[in-house]
Structure 1
Amino acid sequence: MNAPHDLLDVDHLLSDEERAIRDTARRFAQDQLAPHVAEWAETGELPAREIAKQMGGAGLLGMHLEGYGCAGVGPTAYGLASIELEAIDSGLRSLFSVQGSLAMYSIHAYGSEEQKQQWLPGMAAGDYVGAFGLTEPDHGSNPNGMRTRAKRDGDDWVVNGAKMWITNGSVADVVVVWAQTDDGIRGFVVPTDTPGFSGRAIKHKMSMRASVTSELTFEDMRLPGSALLPGAEGLRGPLGALNEARFGIVFGTTGAARSCLETAIDYATTRTQFDKPIGAFQLTQGKLADMSVAHGTALLLSVHLGRLKEAGILKPAQVSAGKLNNTRVALEIARTARTILGANGISGEYSVMRHANNLESVLTYEGTAEIHQLTIGRELTGLSAFA
């Protein structure tokens, strides 16, 4: 009999190496993160720098990148690690994803050799924490409208502006900051001890509580010319990085869904009402069956997209399809699992409500559901609905 969370035997599609990497990530997540995550979410305080160091020691940070201390694993293996981290909490997967697929990827793909040597080995080890400064207080879905501006001043750049909802931002050592210039949008590698840089943690969140979320401000922040990412011009740079991170979300959300499904199955087979387990009732079995099929198909979609990426033929619209589908599926599974647990579904003793709250954010960040719908619509029709 297959494990309850793998009704469709998706595990059969994985290589021995991929399963080994998955199992390593699962052991790390279960041993190092799971015992503490409920407290981190309850208090809204995350020891992000300590966790980054642990993830680096486990070889997880930037694991899909080549060289500079990175493991260089394949896309599907990276996705499987994302599943195991998000099975614990979406906020922990976000720390991993922002470090590796946004900050490190940007430097790896667009940076100078000097920038790569300076930052990537330390980031892979978890000695340096990275962040990605794109979203602004008034511009999320339309990054082309960003107001942060970098102006030339001799050989230097002077940056003014603000970024919002930046994971890791207030604890980071380095932030990849995107800004408007006279030559369009450009990226800059910004050490956070640069004068004029400030970061403030955002408090009172109802979602992603086991995550550091920040507002960044830049006031006459002076950077040397060497801070510019030479390989990124226009929106191609930040959107390329976002596509990497969205790929991880496609997989990761199935981890949150799996956790909710496993919790619901365990509860349904042990909770007794009317003198029998609630899992013996037809309505409960119907919910569990639908949840299992939805989770399995989302996982199959993830692996399929992983194979397309390995073949070098994965399209952005296909990543959008994966994120749109899998975030919706995971959120619906979390909500349904909550109904099976009844009043216990809102208790911090169980992970279900925490996952549901987190997934409300995952549905929105790195492209809202509506933006991904329009991306798919453009692919289908050849017509852009974007302004």
Structure 2
Amino acid sequence: MRDSIQQLALFGGRPAFSENRRVGRPNTGDRERFLERMNQVLDNEWLSNMGPMMYEFEARVAELAQVRHCVSLCNATVALQLLVGDLATGGAPGDEVIVPSLTFPATAHAVKWRGLTPVFCDVDPVTGLIDPEQVEALITDRTRAIIGVHLWGQVCDVARLEKIAESYGLRLYFDAAPALGCSYGDVPVGGLGHAEVFSFHATKIVNSFEGGAIVTDDDALAERMRAERNFGFGKDGTVQAVGTNGKLSEAAAAMGLTSLEGLDATIARNRTNYEQYRSALTGIPGVTVLEFEGPNRNNHHYMMVNVVAGAAGLHRDVLLDVLRAENILAQPYFSQVMQQMTPYIGAPPVRLPRSEELCGQLLALPTGPQVDTDDILLIGEVIRTAVAYGHEVTARRRLRPAVGLAT
């Protein structure tokens, strides 16, 4: 541990890293293999409109998720919008979808965008996952579906949610954006509920530059989703429904395939990093590593810690400023709960205390193939020093401008 607060870069010390260590650095895989694939795309002169590279990528994802159907999309938000739009067909104004308060805005935005009403549900105080007991308490005669979110690769309580959905005749979807390669017991994420959505954004464990997919064993749903991603064109070439342009390009599929080839190695490295972080952060007051142990498999793409200000002597946001000054670009996950975002503020405001408390405590630390043991030890040392001088750091921080987040 550094033996003086002055050694922290926020107060004049030398930064721990000369180059940024950041959350969500792209896992691009073998560059030469990607370029080979891109040459195939260019030689084929088939750049979009459901080309062979896209179908190969879909087949690989479906195999990994052990489902019959993978419907690739240009991003995961469009995937969610298509699923919610399927609910809206034949529905009525005011129909509701229950979603967790602690999630990325796209989950609720997709509901709102398609004319349904998101109803925000509180979460488990430890995992941050949607709480089935709270879900059941929110169900009304207007409820059409439940969307659970597998935060940080943690899988929701699927058995309880499936039981609730079946009892009330509801659709059950999962926003599995960060959960490719994870499992519910021995069952891979992808075949849970009626359908799940993966993200292949540049920050995800497998990236296609930008992309997403709906994965399901529901044959009829998959057929509708394939039509709707392509302007509503059915198999016979006629427009069967109102659709959009949500197709995945061949360049995106080429990157997705290349990134997917490195998935096992990336998960193994993430797992090693996770164990090393647990060791490096052991015994730091108020700083707790989220435990991803148990019967479910996690891809460890997110290295999450909980910072409790009362025990650590400094708030999560103060620790963020300390880390960013050291070129450690940690991230708050999330900066706001859904019910506090401008489009969703109610009158009177909705209070969901568990999600609101967690939202101010959670912190994602850099991980992935580009982060090594020495990096983790140094990050741990910075955090240990910041907490050791927590009250002084907090007091002195009030006198300095905030450290901006690099883009």
Flag whether TM exceeds 0.5 (same fold).
no
- Range class of TM-score, shorter chain: under 0.3
Taking structure 2 as the reference length, what is the TM-score of the superposition?
Answer: 0.23
The structure whose Rg is larger is: 2
Between Structure 1 and Structure 2, the one with more helix by share is 1
Taking structure 1 as the reference length, what is the TM-score of the superposition?
Answer: 0.24
